[in-house]
Structure 1
Amino acid sequence: MQNDFFNLYSHGFARVAVATPRCKIADPVFNAAQTIALAEAAAQQGAALVAFPELGLSAYSCDDLFHQAALLDACEAGLRTVMDATAQLPLALVVGLPLRVGHQLFNCGVVLAGGKILGVVPKSYLPNYGEFYEARQFSAADSAPCSQVDLLGQSVPFGAGLLFEVEGVALLRFHVEICEDVWVPIPPSSFAALAGATVLVNLSASNVLVGKSGYRHQLVSQQSARCLAAYLYTSAGRGESSTDMAWDGQTLIYEKGDLLAEAERFQDDSHIIYGDVDLERLSRERMHTTTFAQQVRHHAQQVAAFRVVRFALPGAPGGGKTLALGRAVERFPYVPSDPQRRDERCTEVYHIQVQALVQRLSQSGMKKVIIGVSGGLDSTHALLVCAKAMDRLKLPRTNILAYTMPGFATSERTLRQARALMEAVGCEAHEIDIRPSCIQMLEDLGHPYAEGQETYDITFENVQAGERTSHLFRLANFHNGIVIGTGDLSELALGWCTYGVGDHMSHYNVNASVPKTLISHLVRWVAESGVIGTSGSDVLLQVLATEISPELVPGKAGEDKPAQSTESSIGPYELQDFNLYYILRYGFAPSKVAFLAWSAWKDREQGAWPDAVHASRNQYMLADIKKHLATFVYRFFKISQFKRSCVPNGPKVGNGGSLSPRGDWRAPSDAEAVVWQADLDRIPDEAGK
């Protein structure tokens, strides 16, 4: 396969296609021509595999015509025409036709590539109820008299237990089943997935009924999710008999429960859909989900019965062209772009955090919480969670003891926001100036600042952070409460937290597994709900518009902006959260993460949201992506694990993972980052170079 950074096949993807040709009943010449035309179109688009409907060369609704020798002979001739046409096409086809084997007739899917027949798969389960009576014409797979058949001058494997593996396309191993096979309690594809099939293909005809489309979605989605596989579903369309049925030509491509592509139904003409399947993701999920391997072991007999047919395509998919990724890649994987799904996500995350804090307070017998409020994003959201938890516990919000603690670099803006926020929430608000105690500490240390020198080093910064944390823990002792942590998942991943102080340590951290990009939308979601009043919503929007800064180094006099910018130091959170998701959730190499980021961010308009948080519609060039990814790799793998090894308790909120050493992430504190840094060299500095 092409070793091209910008080619989807270089990163564990494979382009697949599902086609519905316009058909004519009992006219294999016409149907073969339609099939070839769609196959050529799929090859032009770089697909490695294309699937066609059940009995597509004859049409499904032939009824007793299937027992006519002239039709069966014509179907085999049509198959030869299609086979010959594949000689130079760099993809595999799966087509359907009736096929005589011995003295029986089978409803079959035939796999073709490179001008050859690679295998024939008979249908396992024949529906014989309602409008279906396939057992009248066909025999089921388990009555096959042989495992090898002579077809068009070739001896080819025959049976339901065949797997087809494409050489040169990493991890592309597919299985074929036919229509009803996926409607039974244990589809053949379930065992095929356990035997290593990453792509499951269903040749279906499937007449349309009211509500049937939705049920097909459920079937295919759930089968792909359970099998940790991609699932390609075909269906017959215009041209099938309307004597007693109608046909909608529905085609679907799913990957692990996610819909990648769907055709518009009831089309008059032939049509085709494409999906770029992430085979590496599927492999990673199977490795991660250890119960999948247990199932392989428990069904060893069925798994061992599969035969693998390995074959090469006549050329690379796409004919050597560089194929850009065709699937949408969310810029914000922790935050759905669809507004309705985003609101649902925010609602659920918020309630998970609240429920966890309610349980912790109930179990510990504590009735008060102590929290530092900076006027910034993380502490704002944590305070909102505390407020809702008190409501759930039917305790007054004055049981929230909130402290804003201005230091040497606290801006008027954040101080004003902290005060307004505490008032809007209705907590017990306090203000402690930490500068006197910081000066005492600096004097004790013999720090130059205590002697009047403007020395703003890391010690100067950490003294302030440490003083705030010391106050909070002693206040918790004094008031018999617990300290609520505010540090988020993004900061923990990057090590952007001072060891042992407030953004790292607490009695319970409600934000522990919530990334920065999601926190911003949680705060916006609360603001838009209006639950804390108009003035409260206004201050939340002001917090969202505030530049993220630790505010530990004084700025220049007269300037209304912080001297420090977090994102200038560690990179933009929208990119770093993207990196975190794919490295933590899937274990992808940096080069693949960069390819995904480039695919998501190269277009200024793609995925841009018209809300204030992302109104900039940022565009990142590949050099930017590589630079910030290098920062992430070094900080995540090399220097920050020791901070994650001792984090406080906090709830896991999403399948994007957490960094708790008790849950998702266990890693040595003294590991090297060299293998990830070496992989960065695969990323070119600019597109096309």
Structure 2
Amino acid sequence: MKDGFITVGAGNFAIRAGDPAYNGGAALAALRRGAEQGVKVMVLPRLCLTGATLGDLYRQEALLAAAWDALLRLAANAKSLDLLAVVGLPVRQGGRLYDCAAAIGGGEVLWLCPRREAQAPFSPGPETGVFSRGGSSIPLGWGYHLACLELSGLELGIGLEEDVFETQAPVLLNPAAAFFSVEDRTMADLNGFSHRCGAALLRAGAGEGESTTNGVMDGRCAVLEAGESLNRTGVFETGLAVAQLDLERVSSSSRGEAIPFSLGIAETQFTRTVNPSPFLLPQDRAKELAQTILSAQAKGLAHRMERAFSRRAVIGISGGVDSTLALLVAVRAMELLGWDSQEVLAVTMPCFGTSNRTYQNAQALCRGLGVELREIPLGEAVAGHLRDIGHDGVTQDAAYENAQARERTQVLMDLANMEGGLVVGTGDLSELALGWATYNGDHMSMYGVNANLPKTLIRQMLLLLAQEPAYAPAAEAIRDIVDTPVSPELLPGADGEIGQITEEVVGPYELHDFFLYHCLKYGSGPRKILRLAERAFHGRYEKDTILRWMELFYKRFFAAQFKRSCLPDGPGVYGVGLSPRGQWVMPSDAYASIWLNQVEELMQE
């Protein structure tokens, strides 16, 4: 239960229809199995203490009394397990019969949540009310939620069957008992609902032991988190789906009066699977999504060119991944506009640090895509500028490097003016986060098509797009560009080789993209990001290495905000980003001391 993580479970067990005493014992055994795996919140199926297929037997007082007794024994016996559990049973109150889910914890029954739109013989449940028995008053109604006193953010709503779609809380508990059907879309609907409302959802379906007079219960149990399936059991399977929720990833708020409950705070083994590349497209839809993103970028560029009365797209081509994707976007934009690909003006500008590999790849790429390529060497112009400002032209300092980047941008801007065109920016989200761009150099353009895409995603997209028949003439060049080390090529190398490797200076982009994702999307701090990174990159990066690059990430992220405050327009195609126009608002002179102090503390541990 540290850093917002909590282990939860959804399960079922083999019941005896109409035997609450037996079912209560079986439920306790299921809860114990969950507790042995560290489960702190567990949901069991609807009407699991009696069975969900008893029909008019639910009207029998003997069954109702036995079910209540079984619930009280279960609550008392489960007290030592230190978990919050939800079990189903029928409850009669004031002449009405309700299909209820009972929340138990600390040896007590905390809440009876009835089904809203119940079927006979049950009545629709009230929004709020009180159930009184044996001197105890228990909240009865669907208009409540549970709130953990010890763990901020752990708020639970209960919705039986389809009621869950009208329930609002960060964590939704869904006791169910549904017959199997080949046309059933319940799990897909639950997954979509979890994604839309940003909630975790635990579904427990009844299964083994239920009457098969009219069908077979599906028995499916699942743990979902904001649309992602963390664990699930198979159809007709008896068992338990256990997973660790990250409460920072659920954004739904709670509705209704809060019922407090307590859980013992204990450190549990961190077993959650953590994706080391959270920006990457899912494999089952990667090709489709890569094309969709490319089309979104192209549509944004095409519309901007129309509204700016631009006749050509002007792009600086370096032989790197960012300018390669920007070129593909420009070619697609020409298709959308009904223009020839020759209306894309690609410009290669070799200077002091240009390598043979990137130079050759830039030319091959442009030939394969059928765009106009111009070569404008910058050596003499940059050397003259350095002389003009009193630089010796030898000292490889910031002025030496940035003079080249700004000369490139000046050439592109002036060419755009000459050609009636628009300069297409190539910089990506990863570079913007780190400030790895020359202010008013490659930092500036007339429309930045890659500004919302991180480096890791751009690499993936290029490899996917290289498989498309439309890009076959350029596919070999694209693949070699992805394999080429990332470099700004502002410092000369030996014998035409790359002399400046970006990731040796600022660190691996896969780490920085990981830090950026969790920082922007969930607001996670250094301690939690470290915990996630150690899990995600186990066996690849040691703790000291992760923290070294994390420290640099926070230093550069805060220091570079002034560059991000004046970014050119560009299409937002991802859920997180750094555009100052609605995606990320931050003062340029904020201090990073809180975050850096936390990193330093982690280094000392």
TM-score (norm 1): 0.84
Counterpart residue identity of residue 499, structure 2: A
The structure 1 residue matched to 2:409, chosen from 446, 464, 469, is 469
Counterpart residue identity of residue 357, structure 2: R
> What residue in structure 1 maps to residue 69 of structure 2?
77
The structure 1 residue matched to 2:476, chosen from 530, 538, 555, is 538
Aligned counterparts of 2:192 and 2:391: Cα–Cα separation in 1: 63
* CA separation of 1:520 and 1:90: change in aligned 2, threshold 3 A: same
Deviation at 1:51, TM superposition (A): 0.6
Conservation of the 8 A alpha-carbon contact between 1:346 and 1:522: yes
Conservation of the 8 A alpha-carbon contact between 1:224 and 1:257: yes
Deviation at 1:405, TM superposition (A): 0.9
Deviations 1:109-168 (A, max 9, x none): 1111122222222222113xxxxxxx2x32322399x514125x6432222223222221
> What residue in structure 1 maps to residue 12 of structure 2?
20
Counterpart residue identity of residue 462, structure 2: V
The structure 2 residue matched to 1:66, chosen from 51, 54, 58, is 58
> What residue in structure 2 maps to residue 175 of structure 1?
157
Conservation of the 8 A alpha-carbon contact between 1:507 and 1:648: yes
The structure 2 residue matched to 1:507, chosen from 446, 449, 456, is 446
Counterpart residue identity of residue 318, structure 2: S
> What residue in structure 1 maps to residue 148 of structure 2?
166
1:330 aligns with 2:275: yes
> What residue in structure 2 maps to residue 612 of structure 1?
none
Aligned counterparts of 1:81 and 1:259: Cα–Cα separation in 2: 33
* CA separation of 1:142 and 1:426: change in aligned 2, threshold 3 A: same
1:627 aligns with 2:548: yes
Deviations 1:478-535 (A, max 9, x none): 121111111111111100000001x21111111121111111122112211132334x
Aligned counterparts of 1:228 and 1:632: Cα–Cα separation in 2: 28
- Which has the higher mean CA deviation after the structures are superposed, 239-248 or 593-602? 593-602
Aligned counterparts of 1:216 and 1:585: Cα–Cα separation in 2: 28
> What residue in structure 1 maps to residue 350 of structure 2?
406
The structure 1 residue matched to 2:338, chosen from 388, 394, 418, is 394
1:425 aligns with 2:407: no
Aligned counterparts of 1:222 and 1:150: Cα–Cα separation in 2: 40
Counterpart residue identity of residue 443, structure 1: R
Aligned counterparts of 2:528 and 2:233: Cα–Cα separation in 1: 29
Deviation at 1:180, TM superposition (A): 4.2
The structure 1 residue matched to 2:216, chosen from 232, 235, 246, is 246
Structure 2 SS opposite 1:94: strand
Instruction: Give unpaired runs (5+ residues) of structure 2.
Output: none
Deviation at 1:69, TM superposition (A): 2.9
Aligned counterparts of 1:53 and 1:110: Cα–Cα separation in 2: 11
1:525 aligns with 2:461: no
Counterpart residue identity of residue 143, structure 2: G
> What residue in structure 2 maps to residue 548 of structure 1?
486
* CA separation of 1:273 and 1:157: change in aligned 2, threshold 3 A: same
Conservation of the 8 A alpha-carbon contact between 2:199 and 2:226: yes
Aligned counterparts of 2:406 and 2:257: Cα–Cα separation in 1: 64
Aligned counterparts of 1:421 and 1:176: Cα–Cα separation in 2: 57
1:668 aligns with 2:576: no
Aligned counterparts of 1:419 and 1:143: Cα–Cα separation in 2: 69
Deviation at 1:275, TM superposition (A): 2.6
Conservation of the 8 A alpha-carbon contact between 1:14 and 1:169: no
Deviation at 1:565, TM superposition (A): 1.1
Counterpart residue identity of residue 601, structure 1: F
Deviation at 1:251, TM superposition (A): 1.6
Counterpart residue identity of residue 310, structure 1: P
Counterpart residue identity of residue 176, structure 2: S
Conservation of the 8 A alpha-carbon contact between 1:148 and 1:155: yes
Structure 1 SS opposite 2:570: coil
Deviation at 1:437, TM superposition (A): 0.8
1:138 aligns with 2:122: yes
> What residue in structure 2 maps to residue 155 of structure 1?
137
Alignment of 1:531-680 (within 5 A): 531-534=470-473, 536-556=474-494, 558=495, 561-602=497-538, 604=539, 619-637=540-558, 639-655=559-575, 657-680=576-599
Counterpart residue identity of residue 153, structure 2: L
Aligned counterparts of 2:244 and 2:531: Cα–Cα separation in 1: 14
Aligned counterparts of 1:143 and 1:533: Cα–Cα separation in 2: 62
* CA separation of 1:143 and 1:456: change in aligned 2, threshold 3 A: closer
Counterpart residue identity of residue 323, structure 1: Q
1:309 aligns with 2:259: yes
Structure 1 SS opposite 2:244: strand
Aligned counterparts of 2:366 and 2:116: Cα–Cα separation in 1: 66
> What residue in structure 1 maps to residue 239 of structure 2?
271
1:259 aligns with 2:199: no
Aligned counterparts of 2:127 and 2:293: Cα–Cα separation in 1: 53
The structure 2 residue matched to 1:44, chosen from 4, 21, 36, is 36
Aligned counterparts of 1:322 and 1:177: Cα–Cα separation in 2: 28
Aligned counterparts of 1:264 and 1:143: Cα–Cα separation in 2: 34
* CA separation of 1:106 and 1:349: change in aligned 2, threshold 3 A: same
Deviation at 1:219, TM superposition (A): 3.2
Deviation at 1:434, TM superposition (A): 0.7
Aligned counterparts of 2:44 and 2:602: Cα–Cα separation in 1: 37
Conservation of the 8 A alpha-carbon contact between 1:22 and 1:237: yes
Deviation at 1:463, TM superposition (A): 1.4
Aligned counterparts of 1:248 and 1:684: Cα–Cα separation in 2: 50
Aligned counterparts of 1:111 and 1:125: Cα–Cα separation in 2: 20
Aligned counterparts of 2:411 and 2:211: Cα–Cα separation in 1: 79
1:437 aligns with 2:429: no
Deviations 1:253-284 (A, max 9, x none): 222233222211112xx3010232222222xx
* CA separation of 1:370 and 1:247: change in aligned 2, threshold 3 A: same
The structure 1 residue matched to 2:25, chosen from 24, 28, 33, is 33
Deviation at 1:236, TM superposition (A): 0.8
Conservation of the 8 A alpha-carbon contact between 2:356 and 2:497: no
Conservation of the 8 A alpha-carbon contact between 1:583 and 1:589: yes
Aligned counterparts of 1:363 and 1:669: Cα–Cα separation in 2: 31
TM-score (norm 2): 0.96
Aligned counterparts of 1:541 and 1:104: Cα–Cα separation in 2: 69
Deviations 1:265-312 (A, max 9, x none): 112xx3010232222222xx35xxxxx7xxx9xxxxxx5xx3322122
Counterpart residue identity of residue 275, structure 1: A
* CA separation of 1:79 and 1:682: change in aligned 2, threshold 3 A: farther
Deviation at 1:252, TM superposition (A): 2.4
> What residue in structure 2 maps to residue 217 of structure 1?
187
Structure 2 SS opposite 1:470: helix
The structure 2 residue matched to 1:483, chosen from 411, 418, 423, is 423
Alignment of 1:79-158 (within 5 A): 79-127=71-119, 135=120, 137-142=121-126, 147-150=130-133, 154-158=136-140
Alignment of 1:335-354 (within 5 A): 335-336=280-281, 338-354=282-298
Conservation of the 8 A alpha-carbon contact between 2:110 and 2:259: yes
